[in-house]
Structure 1
Amino acid sequence: MIPRRTFLAGAAGLTAGAMAPFTAARAGTSRFTTAGDHFLLDGQPLQILAGELHYPRIARADWRDRLRKLKSLGLNTLSAYVFWNAHEKAPGRYDFTGNLDLSAWLTLAQEEGLHVLLRVGPYACAEWDGGALPAWVFADESVKARSLDTTYMDLSGRWLKRLGQEVAHLEIDKGGPVLVTQVENEYGSYGGDRAYMEAVRDQIRSAGFDGALYTVDGASVIEKGALPSLINGINFGTTDKAEEEFKRYAAFKPSGPRICTELWGGWFDHFGEVHSAMPAPPLLDSLKWMLDHQISVSFYMAHGGTSFGFDAGANFDRKTETYQPDISSYDYDALFDEAGRPTPKFSAVLEVMKRYLPAERFAPLPAPQKALEIPRFRLTETAAVTPLLGKPVVAPAPRTLESLGQSHGLMRYRHRFAKAAKGTLRIGEVRDYAVVSVNGRRVGVLDRRLNEREIALSARAGDSLEILIDTMGHVNYGERIGRDQKGLIGGVTLDGQPLQGWTHEGLPLDDLGGLAFQAGMGDGPAFHRGMFEVKEAGYTFLDMRGWGKGYAWVNGHNLGRHWSVGPQRTLFVPESFLKVGMNEVVVFDLHPVQAASLAGGHAQIWDLPGQVKE
């Protein structure tokens, strides 16, 4: 089929009389409407060509750079999730500052000439911790996620009202860039309660979002999740065929504008697996078919970025009953790599786009930032975890982190033996990684990924059993959403006898100010500190090979999780996290470290090489 550069002109005669019901959300005429099979903006056909970017996964100093890179592909729209748990880390305490300044993010997109698809959820998926649902919502384990559960709906409604105060004024009819706002997210893959979806829609309306609304689902489950009176998009990936997906969609909705709200050009990674790399040709085939048929499309991800800190999520494989935590890199084998550099896939997509769009649609790529090589240096100071331990909480049986008001980080569980004991220690479930010690002497580790729940030990009367739990991401997809409370689950026994009497000490790792560093090496778990010099502005990838499992901070910025099981071997450090001159790095490791040293390089290091070359 011949590329249709003249599509917009050819569709200009569509009349306002064919507008869909959603355009009547407010009195007067909306700028963004539909007519027949097309979206209209100010009465003229609009083909939405979008790219997905996530503001917390991009250092704020790089926001404009990444938005301009969407324009370099000829795209006209930003697709943007909102992450509830990033903004409300504790009940009623909201944060819209710094890297979480959502209003600034959307306003910047408008400054760069981009429309916005706003994905308010409140559930997001996105390989994000808990799918963006706060862990504290489920401190009471009876609360049911993504349902008409009264507690859940009250909390989500309160959140959406607060969100509306921040960004509802940025809808297009109010002078902002937001074309359309999403209700929930891929609900058809989770449930089928139409009343729930309508209730979420009503909460979004009550929060002040008056404009067009839409839903997003896989085509095979769209009947379960979509509200037909709204705009309905479908998601699919590289291994799917666009023509077949839209045939399924047509069985649900024969007419109206069509949009692929997520065209998955890559995939995400779990710890302990090889790096995902998806081929470009099938992706290009689907892209060309959609452009030939004037279908709107959004690239997921245009640029993935990094799940800094504790933001990475997890999957749970129902067939194998296997927990699968996501790595901190959200490279996604996307059009731009984790550092924002164009990949070969970008070049391939750009070549296709240029056959459909006029030359003036393509902005030049921004000037590249410099990748820094940092010579290997040693971390010469260590600190114990003890000063960061929270106030002890005593309970008969182990409690979850969420029930103790903690959503991430570490928890130390202690039990004192009243008499000598020997046998097999069994834990109902470890969530997610346990270092087991007796009187400070390490006995072994238990890994949830491997379904490890028991270990042999012996203790004398008066000995202290210590189980240090390191939490990974809360499950963000499937039936375990909201059911992934962390810690020691289901009780602890020794040779079948319950161990009663536990002390809990939390280490959320949000503030390292209490650490007392001193020269020398220390056994894990421990913090290690070093200094390195940067002589010019740029970014780097911190080489974590030789370390075990833990976290790393540069100048106070939590870069995310490192773990020797791979596939990610470095942690990305954005240019704005570094300063010309001396820089501080702190690494926490659960295990003893033989040689505490680091270096910085130009690229991510994968167990299976990706497609970005230095």
Structure 2
Amino acid sequence: MKRILLACALAIAALPAIQPANAEKPHTLATQGDHFTLDGKPFQIVSGELHYARIPREYWHARLKMARAMGLNTIATYVFWNVHEPTPGHFDFSGQYDLAAFLKAAQEEGLYVILRAGPYACAEWEFGGFPSWLLKDPRMSTALRTNDPAFMVPAERFITRLAQETSPLLAVHGGPILAVQVENEYGNFGNEKAYMAHMLQIFQSTGFKDALLYTVDPSKALANGSLPGILAGVNFGTGNAQPALAKLAALRPGQVLFATEYWPGWFDLFGHPHETRPLAPQLKDIDYVLSHNGSINIYMFHGGTSFGMMAGASASTGNYRGNVTSYDYDAPLDEAGHPTPKFFAYRDLILKYTHEKPLPVPAIPDVIAIPPFTLSKSIPALSPLPKPIDSATPLSMEQVGQDYGYILYRTFLPNPAHGTLDLGPVHDYAQVYLDGVLTGTLDRHYNQTSLPITTTRQATLDILVENTGRLNSTKHMREEWKGIRSATLDGTSLTGWQIYSFPFHTPPPTNLPMETRHLEVQLRGPHIASGTFTLTQTGDTFLDISALGKGVLWINGHPLGRFWNIGPQDTLYVPAPWLKKGRNEVILFDLFPAKPGVTLAGLTKPILDGPTPTYATDPERKKKEAADAEFGPKLAAPAPPKE
């Protein structure tokens, strides 16, 4: 029997890999000296990045057709662990997150794929793509992105599952995936060689062993993040092609020059001006890469939208700053999939090197205006309150099993109080109420942790905290729990807490019975509002949210994203497939008090450069922006916003 089983196992192992449904002939990408080869012939990768999770599934093919029309032969995409394993051991590769379907769509549009498997992504995405439940383990404060089993065991579980999902689509099996990335910009984070070696071993022990594996790092961190014998690529921004490729060549003499991320734009932060980059130096950069026989991945070709609560946060300016919902990135293809002047200029330059004939540029989706409509319903938020978690001390979102949204902490002050309420680190935006009356706010953007409170009698203390997005880079990610974890009044710890979770995975209800609404009006300010509008035809539009305060918004049940009246984003992108002929419904949660007669409207053009608070004088700012080498601009912090 043992011999029979062994013979069966050997026979199965000898079978060819399962071919994807739309498989082409197998292809092999390799390196030969200073260039790539595809099936033994010289090949130059001309790639652009776009992310399946940032594009409505109904538009995947449209965006990919645009990529091909710009002259690209390859696209790259990150993989976001958090959307695929929302709870430990439970995987989701369906619907919007059907990664295999996206990769097959790329192949159907004549494109190869670079799979940026992670498990870390960055990408201005919530927690850099890591699932928030990792932070429930206190060991993660030192273990994240290290060889510690606390991190490596779940990471290996995910990579193994990802390989099962995507390895049949490797080019060697007839699929579109030419190369697979190991980790991401690790040299920017640390230099633990054992960790990177272990990560490589995981990739090589799964179905990814048949792919060309590679690492990427900014030029300043190449030595820290690269692996011996594994292809290394370099990331850089506008005006830095020559020095960045020179550093790669110095580290890896004779290796392929691979610009694994070339940044034609930058991301936007709440309260900061909209970011753009000039075109002329970008054309020089791309020309330099391609003329030196290099390969390139343009990050981003199309940024798309961080729908829902998937926008991350940055500490690149020295302080915490939340990313806005739009990920337009000043890319060649804008947030709504429209070609920009960059698109056409890039195309002309790319075709100069690929010698292909220009393809017709696909028609863009219809764009419609929606006449102003009033938010007709407005009810107190967080009503009725769900069942609380009782705790002696405040617990973070992760400790109570919550990932995104809002969390309410409630305790009772038995005596009159006049002193300083200190919450320690606030992650990220807290409103403090006494008996339902707003006393003050604490905002992590401005390092606010305490405020004076006064009561003349017994009082209920409520602290409502918003998760504005977890940091997506730096070692500060290890402490990116959300909520609060301590509270003192004049140095004395407050105890006896009731904790209420509001993750808002779905829109909050707006049809509460009147008697329920009056029973739970403890928090005067945060509210749920809704309104409807009617369409005779659908099309993309840009919802003007400039009259709103701070919160999140859904349309027909689809989560559009966060809004905040400190700018610069004053519209939210609404894709046509999420609208319908007839009645459409908008629901929003707003932390700030309702204003009577608020109207919304759908515009035909986005407003991504709305007004932002006045900046501190910075005579070096222009010089800094001109020298924006690798990690983006270092902008001065804005003044705290007024509610």
User: TM over 0.5: same fold?
Assistant: yes
| Distance of aligned partners of 1:142 and 1:394 in 2 relative to their CA distance in 1, 3 Å threshold | same
Match of 2:598 in 1: 596
Does structure 2 retain, via aligned residues, the 8 Å contact 1:533–1:580? yes
The RMSD of aligned alpha carbons is 1.9
Q: 1:169 deviation in Å?
A: 0.9
Structure 1 residue 462 displacement after superposition: 3.6
Where 1:65 maps in the other structure, the secondary structure is helix
Deviation for aligned residue 1:117: 0.5
Q: Deviation of residue 348 (structure 1)?
A: 2.0
Whether the 8 Å contact between 1:542 and 1:599 is mirrored in structure 2 is yes
Residues 313-392 of structure 1: pairs in structure 2 closer than 5 A: 313-317=312-316, 320=318, 322-360=319-357, 362-387=358-383, 389-392=385-388
Give the CA deviation at 1:386. Answer: 3.1
Does 1:35 pair with 2:32?
yes
Corresponding residue number in structure 2 for 1:421: 417
Q: Aligned residue for 2:129?
A: 132
Post-superposition CA distance 1:309-338 (Å, at most 9, x none): 1110111247x4x11110000000100111
Q: What is the deviation of 1:387?
A: 4.1
Supply the distance in 1 between the matched residues of 2:512 and 2:108 (Cα, whole angstroms).
46
Q: CA deviation at 1:364?
A: 1.6
Instruction: After TM superposition, give the deviation of residue 158 of structure 1 in Å.
Output: 0.6
Aligned pair 1:410/2:412, yes or no? no
In 1, distance between residues paired with 2:161 and 2:420?
A: 50
> 2:139 & 2:511 partners in 1: Cα distance?
41
| 2:346 aligned counterpart, secondary structure | helix
2:350, 2:304 → 1: CA distance? 23
Deviation string, structure 1 residues 38-93 (Cα, Å, up to 9, x no partner): 11111111100000000010000000011011111111001111000011111112
Q: Which residue of 2 aligns with 1:512?
A: 507
1:503 pairs, out of 498, 506, 509, with: 498
SS of 2:418's equivalent? strand
Question: Partner residue of 2:448?
Answer: 452
Q: Is 1:388–1:512's contact at 8 Å kept on the other side of the alignment?
A: no
Which residue number in structure 1 is paired with residue 487 of structure 2? 492
Corresponding letter in the other structure for 2:205: S
**Which residue in the other structure is 1:580 paired with?**
581
- The answer to whether the 8 Å contact 1:384/1:515 transfers is no
Letter matched to residue 121 of structure 1? G
Q: 1:328 to 1:81 in 2, by over 3 A?
A: same
Whole-angstrom CA distance in 2 between matches of 1:263 and 1:386: 44
Deviation at 1:602, TM superposition (A): 1.2
AA in 2 matched with 1:236: F
Tell whether the 8 Å contact from 1:384 to 1:516 is kept in structure 2 after alignment.
no
In the alignment, which residue of structure 2 is the partner of 1:557? 558
Please state whether the residue corresponding to 1:222 is helix, strand or coil: helix
Between 550-559 and 161-170, the greater mean CA deviation after superposition? 161-170
1:96 to 93, 96, 99: 93
Q: Check the 8 A contact 2:47/2:73 in 1, yes or no.
A: yes
Indicate the SS of the match to 1:151: helix
> If the length of structure 2 is used for normalisation, what is the TM-score?
0.87
Asked if the contact 1:162–1:207 (Cα under 8 Å) also holds between the matched residues in 2, the reply is no
For residue 353 of structure 2, give the secondary structure of its aligned residue in structure 1.
coil
- Matched residue type, 1:437: Y
* 1:160 paired to 2:159: yes
Aligned residue for 1:22?
none
| Helix, strand or coil at the partner of 2:344 | helix
How far apart are residue 192 of structure 1 and its match?
A: 0.6
Alpha-carbon spacing, 1:183–1:372, altered in 2? closer, same or farther (3 Å): same
What amino acid sits opposite 1:512 in the alignment?
P
CA contact (8 A) 1:381 1:518 kept: no
**Distance (Å, rounded) in 2 between the aligned partners of 1:374 and 1:54:** 28
State the shift of 1:456 in Å.
Answer: 1.9
Deviation at 1:347, TM superposition (A): 2.2
Q: 2 CA distance for matches of 1:384 and 1:317?
A: 37
Report the Cα distance in structure 1 between the residues aligned to 2:579 and 2:283, rounded to whole angstroms.
37
Are 2:64 and 1:72 equivalent residues in the alignment? no
Counterparts of 2:385 and 2:554 in 1: how far apart (Å)? Answer: 19
1:563-574 paired onto structure 2 within 5 Å: 563-574=564-575
The question of whether the paired residues in 2 share the 8 Å contact of 1:163 and 1:207 is answered with: no
Counterpart of 1:223, as a letter, is A
State the TM-score, normalized to the length of structure 1.
0.91
Q: Match of 2:56?
A: 59
Give the Å deviation of 1:596. 2.4
Of 386-395 and 301-310, the range deviating more from structure 2: 386-395
1:246, distance to aligned residue in structure 2 (A):
1.2
- Which shifted more, 565-574 or 515-524? 515-524
Contact 2:438 2:525 in 1 (8 A): no
1:593 maps to amino acid = A
Which residue of the partner structure matches residue 86 of structure 1? 83
1:268 match? 267
Paired AA for residue 588 in structure 2? V
Aligned pairs, how many? 577
1:135–1:482: 8 Å Cα contact kept in structure 2? no
User: Aligned-pair distance for 1:208?
Assistant: 1.5
Deviation track 1:192-232 (CA, whole Å, cap 9, x = no partner) reads 11111111111122332122101001122111101131111
Moved more, 290-299 or 512-521: 512-521
Task: Give CA deviations for 1:9-47 in whole Å, capped at 9, x if unaligned.
Answer: xxxxxxxxxxxxxxxxx9xx9722121211111111110
Q: CA deviation at 1:579?
A: 0.9
Distance (Å, rounded) in 2 between the aligned partners of 1:237 and 1:92: 38
- 1:168 aligned partner, one-letter code: S
| 3-state DSSP of counterpart to 2:479 | coil
Cα pair 2:527 2:594 within 8 Å, conserved:
no
SS of 2:506's equivalent in the other structure is coil
AA in 1 matched with 2:186: Y
Structure 1 window deviating more from structure 2 (346-355 vs 44-53): it is 346-355
Partner residue, 2:634: none
1:358 Cα offset (Å) = 2.4
TM-fit CA distance, 1:351: 2.6
Aligned residue identity for 1:216: V
Within 5 A, what are the aligned runs for 1:136-151? Answer: 136-143=133-140, 144-151=143-150
SS at match of 2:477: coil
Do 1:385 and 1:515's aligned partners in 2 also have CA atoms closer than 8 Å? Answer: no
Partner of 2:534: 533
Structure 1 moving runs of 4+ over 6 Å: 518-522
User: In structure 2, do the counterparts of structure 1 residues 608 and 507 end up closer, same or farther at CA, with 3 Å as the change threshold?
Assistant: closer
Match of 2:620 in 1: none
On the 8 A contact 1:215/1:227 being kept in 2, the answer is yes
Given that 1:434 and 1:470 are in contact with CA atoms closer than 8 Å, whether structure 2 keeps it comes out as yes
Letter in 2 for 1:40: T
Partner of 1:441: 437
Unaligned runs of 5+ in 2: 1-16, 18-25, 612-643
Task: Verify the 8 A CA contact 1:555 1:578 in the aligned structure 2.
Answer: yes
User: Aligned residue for 1:233?
Assistant: 233
Identical pairs, percent: 42
Q: Secondary structure at the match of 2:114?
A: strand
Looking at structure 1, the residues matched to 547 and 190 of structure 2 have their Cα atoms a distance apart, in angstroms, of 44
Q: Per-residue deviation at 1:255?
A: 1.1
Residue 470 in structure 1 maps to residue 470 in structure 2: no
* 1:518 positional shift: 7.2
CA–CA distance in 2 between the matches of 1:150 and 1:461?
51
Q: For 2:316 and 2:116, how far apart are their aligned partners in 1?
A: 26
Report the secondary structure of 1:430's partner residue. coil
Aligned pairs for 1:281-292 (under 5 A) are 281-292=280-291
